[in-house]
Structure 1
Amino acid sequence: MTEPRFYFAPHTQTFPRTAHPDLLDFHCRLPGYQQTPLVSVPLLAQVLGVKQVWVKDEQHRLGLPAYKILGASWATYRELQTRFGPFKSWETLQDLADQLKPFLPLTLVAATDGNHGRAVARTAHWLGLQAHILVPEDMVPARRKAIESEGATVEVIAGSYDDAVLAAAEFASERHLVISDTSWEGYTRVPGWVVEGYSTIFEEIDLQLQDVQAAQPDLVAVQMGVGSLAAAVIQHYAVADQNTRIVGVEPLQADCVLRSLQQGTLTAAPGPHLSSMAGLNCGHTSPLAWPFLQGGLSAAVAVPDAFAEDAMRLLAKEGVVSGESGAAGVAGLLALMSHPEAELFRENLGLTAESTVLVVSTEGATDPENHQRIVQG
């Protein structure tokens, strides 16, 4: 099957906004912190037939080419604090590292399709900890080498990302802290903090929109792997005082969220998960994210890789370097608006010529060779 698949929710619900009061201050104290750009993309607005499209460009975040460090760093900090704290007042990460020395050796463990694992490894490096990162066997060499460049031990698992998650869970011990962005039975605390960490993106967007006296978006399109980023979007925008619609986007070959929405219960997407949107090649939705996805998404779109490539090329024309997973939100919008029933879709989502849309480009060119091939093709 090469055609996009769609799901439209019969109704949605709102959720309380619960951002941690110390979160933005925590991220501000990390090395090299600055807001990532929020850029207007008029070409995409024209293609979609809306007034304005904002792209939150995460190709450079705290020295890494993706947003994942926001969740990985916060979740690691909160888990370390829970196990070994409370910490004394600190100003720099070296202050924290000094307080952790009596508990060493400690190893952070994570499964990854690329960006999350590198972020966990970078956090471990900052704090003087070790990192053991488990990756699926089909990970491209560039992403594996990037994780190794952070000083991590990389273990290749014979299987998929989901197999790597299962293998990582087995490492949990007093000296091995599993920092996962997906949850399972009995393991929700850390993934919850990962989701919470992502909310810095949307706190920044609020401030950036205020600076230019722009309104909140009418629609947000967000990529979905296990669903953690989408859960963060829903917690921020699906609130009582706002009328923002949220569309989740995932690869056609790893459409676990769309299948779950259709069935009304968590449903796996059978493998192999071979999408070029490698960061979204997940066969199982995070149980922690699931209530937010089920209640907060107005629609879900599963797209073939060709739409992601179109999205990458379109963003590149506007100066936004976006990887395959990074461009997935735009890919979903292109699939919706190029479909024969686009007018009905627009009506279902409340989109008009006066609407404002937000997407998050979650990564830069994490596979530079493939990115160049696509945007120049």
Structure 2
Amino acid sequence: MPTSDSARAHFNANVTTFPTAVNPQVQDFHRKLPGYDRTPLVRAPHLAEALGVREAWVKDESSRLGLPAYKILGASWATYRELDTRFGPFESWSTLSELAEQLRAHRPLTLVAATDGNHGRAVAHVARLLGLDAHILVPHDMVPARIDAIAAEGARVDVVRGSYDEAVRAAARHADARHLVISDTAWSGYERVPTWVIEGYATIFSEIDAQLAEQGGRPPSVVAAQMGVGALAAAVVRHYRAPGRVTRVVGVEPTRADCVLRSLEAGKPTEVPGPHSSIMAGLNCGNTSPLAWPVLRDGLSASVAIPDARAEEAMRLLALDGVTSGESGAAGAGGLLELLAGTFASSAREALGVTKDSTVLVISTEGATDPEAYARIVGTKS
């Protein structure tokens, strides 16, 4: 198995469509959460110039419902659906305090999750809002700033001696009647909650469609999606590869944790053993979620693994366009830089149908979740 930090890419000319119906209850639910507002859709001329395209848009998820990442959308919806399945159906409610009151008789309840940072903080935040406990398991190499942020939500944080994947296995062992595992990756016998996590991300794309229309933007020719376990990328594929849409989807991951790309090359799910040491901490995953795998296999037009230096370049470039993007947040832009302006440019532009008149979209999935690293890489304070 190659261990080089050199970028690698895989192209698929035979992508399919995914007929899915949007669940209107998802965005209705998110609108009830305290502080809900659409995150900005930013026109990014510096990124467009670097990519050699007419227009680039960035969905800026650096501040979403009081947290510095998009993960709260999937975590909150999945938690609500799991609670409703186990203890509902709930009576009509309009605020989370009303929902929390209906859960009072079922306490104590603990939400459990494994995380590289943002998902676990989101689960802990939801638990706090609902008056529940949270137990978050993290890999041993997580930076202190992210651990502290999770603990600040009132969660118990345990460090697992091993990788994110080992933290996932450890979290799964805690499941019982009083401990609800809220994971964004699936395993045998556990698919219900990860399905709802993916469904929860649909709010991002409903917002983007409306914002592009309002700002006079064209539908994107290419959308880049970060890939850790694959939940976000699966949501992107399901939206942009729906019938009638011609957008191509590019999946991006670190060279040191490129489980999706290796799986595509092998034609079957393939593990990348840890340790996974990329600065793109939220993407340091050794296994693709079996729930996301068939969607990515059939729906991605390209998959690219990028070195840390490319993510750092993207962070600095996005900053010029007014977007504060952390290491994982900038990975999508980094992947497009690698494909459209790097060594793959000629073949990638042809495979993806990208010209100087194209429009691209990236999702900046997090802000500066490690402020010291952000200041070091970008050269300014977050």
One fold, TM greater than 0.5?
yes
Structure 1 runs of 4+ off > 3 angstroms?
none
The alpha carbon displacement at 1:251 in A equals 0.3
Cα distance in 1, alignment partners of residues 45 and 104 from structure 2: 51
Q: Does 1:333 align with 2:336?
A: yes
Aligned residues: 377
Residue 213 of structure 2, aligned match among 182, 188, 210: 210
Do 1:18 and 1:235's aligned partners in 2 also have CA atoms closer than 8 Å? no
Give CA-to-partner distance per residue, 1:266-320, whole Å, 9 cap, x none.
0011222000000000000000001110010000000010000000011111111
Q: For residue 6 of structure 1, what is the amino acid of its counterpart?
A: A
* Counterpart in the other structure of 1:319: 322
For residues 256 and 97 of structure 1, do their structure 2 counterparts lie closer, same or farther at Cα, with a shift above 3 Å needed?
A: same
* Counterpart in the other structure of 1:64: 67
Q: For residue 26 of structure 1, what is the amino acid of its counterpart?
A: F
Q: Does 1:179 align with 2:177?
A: no
* Counterpart in the other structure of 1:83: 86
Do 1:113 and 1:161's aligned partners in 2 also have CA atoms closer than 8 Å? yes
Cα distance in 1, alignment partners of residues 132 and 344 from structure 2: 53
Residue 145 of structure 1, aligned match among 144, 148, 170: 148
Cα distance in 2, alignment partners of residues 341 and 173 from structure 1: 48
* Counterpart in the other structure of 2:289: 286
* Counterpart in the other structure of 1:353: 356
The alpha carbon displacement at 1:366 in A equals 0.1
* Counterpart in the other structure of 2:120: 117
Give CA-to-partner distance per residue, 1:246-273, whole Å, 9 cap, x none.
0000000000000000011000112220
SS of structure 1 residue aligned to 2:34:
coil
Q: Does 1:273 align with 2:276?
A: yes
Q: Specify every segment of 5 or more residues in structure 1 that has no aligned partner in the other structure, as ranges.
A: none
The alpha carbon displacement at 1:16 in A equals 1.0
Do 1:142 and 1:366's aligned partners in 2 also have CA atoms closer than 8 Å? yes
The alpha carbon displacement at 1:337 in A equals 2.3
Cα distance in 2, alignment partners of residues 261 and 341 from structure 1: 18
Give % identity: 65
Cα distance in 1, alignment partners of residues 215 and 73 from structure 2: 25
The alpha carbon displacement at 1:2 in A equals 2.2
The alpha carbon displacement at 1:18 in A equals 2.5
* Counterpart in the other structure of 1:31: 34
RMSD: 0.8
Q: Does 1:47 align with 2:70?
A: no
The alpha carbon displacement at 1:338 in A equals 3.1
Cα distance in 2, alignment partners of residues 368 and 135 from structure 1: 19
The alpha carbon displacement at 1:213 in A equals 2.9
Q: For residue 243 of structure 1, what is the amino acid of its counterpart?
A: V
* Counterpart in the other structure of 1:221: 224
Give CA-to-partner distance per residue, 1:339-364, whole Å, 9 cap, x none.
33412210100101111100000000
Give CA-to-partner distance per residue, 1:9-36, whole Å, 9 cap, x none.
1310000123212111100010100000
Cα distance in 1, alignment partners of residues 43 and 321 from structure 2: 9
The alpha carbon displacement at 1:73 in A equals 0.2
SS of structure 1 residue aligned to 2:250:
strand
* Counterpart in the other structure of 1:167: 170
Q: Specify every segment of 5 or more residues in structure 2 that has no aligned partner in the other structure, as ranges.
A: none
Do 2:338 and 2:344's aligned partners in 1 also have CA atoms closer than 8 Å? no
Deviates more, 1:190-199 or 1:330-339: 330-339
* Counterpart in the other structure of 1:108: 111
Q: For residue 350 of structure 1, what is the amino acid of its counterpart?
A: G
